Amino acid sequence: MFSFGIASKLKKIVGRDSVLDRAEDLMLYEYDGSLARGMPNFVVFPQNTEQVSAIMKLACSEQLSVIPRGAGTGLSGGAIARRGGIVLSLARMNRILEIDVANLRATVQPGVVNLDLSAALAPQGFYFAPDPSSQKACTIGGNVAENSGGPHTLVSGVTVNHVTGIEVVLPDGRIAQLGSKSANAAGYDLPGVFVGSEGTFGIATAITVKICRLPESVATLLSIYDDVQDAANTVVALTTEGITPAAIEMLDGWTLRAVEAYVHAGYPLDSAAVLLIELEGLREAVDEQAEIVSAVCRRAGAREVRRAKDENERQLLWKGRKTAFGAIGRVSPSYYVQDGVIPRTRVPETLRKIEEVGKKHSLTIGNIFHAGDGNLHPLILFDARDEQQTRRTLEAGREILEFCISVGGSITGEHGVGMEKQDLMSSLFSDSELEVMARLRKCFNPDSVLNPQKLLPSIRTCRETVMPGHASLDAPVASGAELR
Amino acid sequence: MSSGISIRHDIVPQLEQLLGPEAVFVSDLQRYSIDGVLPTAVARPGSAEQIPALLKIANEQNWTVVSFGGGTRQQVGQTIERIDIVLSTERLDKIENYDPGDLTIAVQSGARVDSVSTACAQHRQLLALEAPAGATIGGALAANESGPLRAGFGAPRDFCIGVNFVTGDGVKGRGGGRVVKNVAGYDLMKLMIGSFGTLGVIVSANFKLFPLAQQTATFITEFDSVAQAIQVRDWLLRSPLAPISAELINPTASEYLTNRAPRDPDSWAPEAPSQQKKRWMLALRFAGSDRLLARCRKELAFASPRDLTEAEQMAFWRAVAGFEATAIERHRNGMIFHVSAPLAESQNVIEAAQGAATDYNFVASTIARVTVGTLVIAFLPLAVDPPGATQFASAASHFRSRLSRGASAVVMRCPLEAKPQFDLWGSTPSDIALMRKIKRAFDPNNILNRGRFLVE
């Protein structure tokens, strides 16, 4: 059989215990953190760069798609095998290759878990700054693919600001070096353009990142409001006052009650919204700023501003924020997270708009977001078994994102386009702008062997990726790629 | 990559038809000469919308195009053999959108960096882009300019949040947008920044701004050797202090910070070489409240720093930012390197430059951005027995041979006669084959800055 031959070739490359091809095993790799699904034909677990290269060469000669996958926590469907093919899991390439304090760099394999790197750096007083909420599980390879952010990216930047060098395997199997440990490399900024390419340019097999000193002092404030608009106005006031906290997170009343029931973080159950504000730096600066921020919050109408009195209380407040999605999972059969971005001064009106959209579609929408940089994560609750409700949910999500576009914002701040927001790309970018992006992709991935039908709008991608010999593999997954 | 025969006598009438006669001129071209090569015509589009049409025709006719902002970096790279059209962005100089509440600004590419900075400063906000006097927004991005503030605020790749450009064949491209966090689509800002006008013509760009510091303090510490200074740098990297500027200035470079009056060009002679031994200077600038600055002062006390007054600070940092210009003003035949190297290699780079310079009759003047790992190094020819054209090439290759593979040393300026003697870009740790593919995809007929860049 056709696929039997491929399985044995894959086993020859990575070893017998590193290939999955039985339906019951493959089913586990049908999902990621998004609503999409698609069944792969094989899952492989390479252990080194050479194996990744050999897999890519085999995939090219067999005309099979390859879908790179980290921890599968992605929220935009980036790791879904839309048209079958090989899911290439980087989970076993999880070694920290080098911690180089003298150069303020670390080099890791792509499967290293985000928080594990920071844990390994902590004894020397350093950490890796990007901190997506999934950082206990998500991998640095996945962070590179999605250009991940997190609460603290407000002051420290997203993944691309922390990557200076990447070893990549290109779709034809060639191993290429992009950048180094230096701040710049002569020529085009290839690592810069690779980060955020969502697995459509190549597979990162070694990543050199900047490491940052742990702050001397941290203050975490919880600012409590009786009106969600006051919380939104605080965000605007902090920005205009010229204060840049390390993080400004917002949870509305509905969300914080759901979280509190699960985590017992100490969020006040009777409030309409809270802001979680963190300040970092030298003791002197943190103490002074904490006072200024508290005053700004109170002026904007905060009922109360609390400061976490110790590390334990601080961790608890953050645990509430970072496990919020899990908490919502307990109260609703399904939820749909959006990732829109708006200019920071538009937070108040955008919250009103989200409320309006929820009412219009009779849906509950919780709000939890990185308020400081205008990155919203409205959570739309629904029951996936209810087809009509699912449709309304998707429609509501779309309306919210279209509103974000209309006020000069974006459809994704950190989750990526993937297959979830592909079609919205045409609302954000013109045809010619998308053509230029497609040209760039062709430089890396001319036949769309790697992660096909992602990021750019589907019509364009389909046209680009039609390849003879795919029909037999396409058929079983054609409907599986639809939204649940 | 070039193809076809261009019909060049058509250029002016066709441009006039396209842009209007007021936007095309063929006299007073000296201002736009690059390495002595004069363009056939200068086009100054009055609207960004005209640029795609202009480049489409140029691409079809195989007319070579050089985009031109303030002209501050046109001498970078290999000499362009033929320039059919200089595309000047001088009329595209508007601030398109500035909402201080959002700390973002959208600007056309022809706007001057200094005038945009001034507009931001009026709202007590900082555009962290630092560029030579007269540089435009588009030019500063194309040349990936940065200065002493890079330690605190990053490079253009860190605060440019959106870019609009037109490819060599006239297709409008865009990356990013007007919000500070955005991952929709490929990050084309990164591609345009530092591409020296070889991938497209930048039309406008958007930036994230920072609150302007209420006050800063600058501490100068002096050392007898580079090794001592680097030890303090290493201590600093592990300390909780976060300077917004940290520059290590070698003894000869400090000469260009204290006395800006041009003397005899092409001669380097210290003020009074026998009287006083100049020392290595580490200049650290911090921003923050009185208490924070007092803490920094306390932490640094072991190095007995000198505190600059407010007026001194202004003058000092202006001089540091202007170091390259001052050096070239005094030494027409200077050779300037922009080096980027891993932090632990800083001392090696400084010593390698010194060694190579001395061997070929130059003096190396160095300003090192020591918490970032970038260096500006001027090789200044000695007045006695000045180096010949091939010695520039030899000095560069000697210098580069002592750097690690991860480092880059780009020649930003050298005498015209020396240019054909060597590769001005040097080696890169990044993949050249991919760069070439990208160049062909964005500029299929290689009409933009033909022959200038390292990928050809």
- CATH classification at residue A130: 3.30.465.10
- B393 and B250 co-located in one domain: yes
Q: What is the pLDDT of residue B261?
A: 52
Beta carbon pairs, A and B, within 8 Å: 271
- B225 and B181 co-located in one domain: no
What separation in angstroms does the CA of B92 have from each of A87, B45, B109, B205, B436? 48, 8, 6, 12, 30
Token couple for A100: 């180089």
- B204 and B245 co-located in one domain: no
Min Cα distance A36 → chain B (Å) is 19
Last residue of a domain, one of B143, B178, B211: B211
Taking every pair of Cα atoms in chain A, the longest distance, rounded to a whole number of angstroms, is: 72
Does B183 contact A at CB distance below 8 Å? yes
Range of the domain at A399: 332-420
Last residue of a domain, one of B211, B233, B251: B211
Token couple for B435: 């760069």
Give mean pLDDT, residues A112-139. 96
- B170 and B229 co-located in one domain: no
Q: How many other C-beta atoms can be found within 10 angstroms of the C-beta atom of residue A407?
A: 18
- A196 and A118 co-located in one domain: yes
Token couple for A382: 């629904």
User: Out of B99, B194, B210, whose CB is closest to A188?
Assistant: B194
Q: Residue A165: beta bridge partners? A: A179, A208
Half-sphere exposure of B72 (CA within 13 A, CB side): 23
Backbone angles phi, psi at B77, to 5 degrees: 90, 180
Interface residue of B196, B198, B430 to substitute, partner A, most A CBs within 10 Å = B430
Question: A-chain residues within 8 Å CB-CB of B210?
Answer: 244
B251 contacts: CB under 8 Å, gap ≥ 6 = B277, B278, B279, B280
- CATH classification at residue A415: 3.30.70.2740
DSSP H helices in B226-345: 226-238, 251-258, 290-299, 310-321, 323-330
How many structural domains are present in chain B?
A: 2
- A131 and A46 co-located in one domain: no
- CATH classification at residue B340: 3.40.462.10
- B301 and B401 co-located in one domain: yes
Last residue of a domain, one of A213, A245, A263: A213
Task: Report yes or no on A484 lying in a domain.
Answer: no
Task: Report yes or no on B68 lying in a domain.
Answer: no
- B199 and B273 co-located in one domain: no
Q: What is the pLDDT of residue A240?
A: 75
How many structural domains are present in chain A?
A: 4
- A253 and A298 co-located in one domain: yes
Are the beta carbons of A84 and A465 closer than 8 angstroms?
A: no
- B344 and B248 co-located in one domain: yes
Task: Report yes or no on B8 lying in a domain.
Answer: no
Higher pLDDT, A79 or B9: A79
Range of the domain at B207: 95-211
Exposure letters B70-98 (e unless 16+ CB within 10 A, then b): bbbbbbbbbebeebbbbbbbbbbbebbeb
Give the C-alpha separation, A313 to A317, whole Å.
Answer: 6
Min Cα distance A284 → chain B (Å) is 6
- B270 and B151 co-located in one domain: no
- B294 and B370 co-located in one domain: yes
- B156 and B197 co-located in one domain: yes
Task: Report yes or no on B58 lying in a domain.
Answer: no
Task: Report yes or no on A120 lying in a domain.
Answer: yes
Question: Which A-chain residues 167-186 have CB contacts (< 8 A) with chain B?
Answer: 170, 176-186
Does B242 contact A at CB distance below 8 Å? yes
User: B299: exposed, middle or buried (C-beta count within 10 Å: 0-12, 13-18, 19+)?
Assistant: middle
Question: A-chain residues within 8 Å CB-CB of B211?
Answer: 242-244
Task: Report yes or no on A152 lying in a domain.
Answer: yes
Predicted confidence (pLDDT) at residue A191 exceeds the cutoff of 60:
yes
Question: Which B-chain residues 102-141 have CB contacts (< 8 A) with chain A?
Answer: 102-104, 124-125
Give the C-alpha separation, B158 to B162, whole Å.
Answer: 11
- A172 and A243 co-located in one domain: no
Interface residue of B123, B158, B167, B186 to substitute, partner A, most A CBs within 10 Å = B186
Min Cα distance B303 → chain A (Å) is 20
Give the C-alpha separation, B319 to B387, whole Å.
Answer: 27
Give the C-alpha separation, A422 to A409, whole Å.
Answer: 16
Please choose, from the candidates A483, A445, A429, the residue with its C-alpha nearest in 3D space to the C-alpha of residue A60. Answer: A445
User: Out of B183, B238, B426, whose CB is closest to A416?
Assistant: B183
Task: Report yes or no on A370 lying in a domain.
Answer: yes
CA B192 to chain centre: 14
pTM for the structure as a whole: 0.94
Task: Report yes or no on B55 lying in a domain.
Answer: no
- B207 and B220 co-located in one domain: no
Task: Report yes or no on A431 lying in a domain.
Answer: no
Q: What is the pLDDT along chain B (456 residues), one digit of tens a residue?
A: 444 455 577 899 999 999 999 999 998 899 999 999 999 999 999 999 999 999 999 999 999 999 999 999 999 999 998 999 999 999 999 999 998 989 999 999 999 999 999 999 999 999 999 999 999 999 999 999 999 999 999 999 999 999 999 999 999 999 999 999 999 999 999 999 999 999 999 999 999 999 999 899 999 999 999 999 999 999 999 999 999 999 999 999 988 887 555 454 444 454 444 345 679 999 999 999 999 999 999 999 999 999 999 999 999 999 999 999 999 988 989 999 999 999 999 999 999 999 999 999 999 999 999 999 999 999 999 888 888 999 999 999 999 999 999 999 999 999 999 999 999 999 999 999 999 999 999 999 999 999 999 766
- CATH classification at residue B156: 3.30.465.10
Q: What is the pLDDT of residue A467?
A: 36
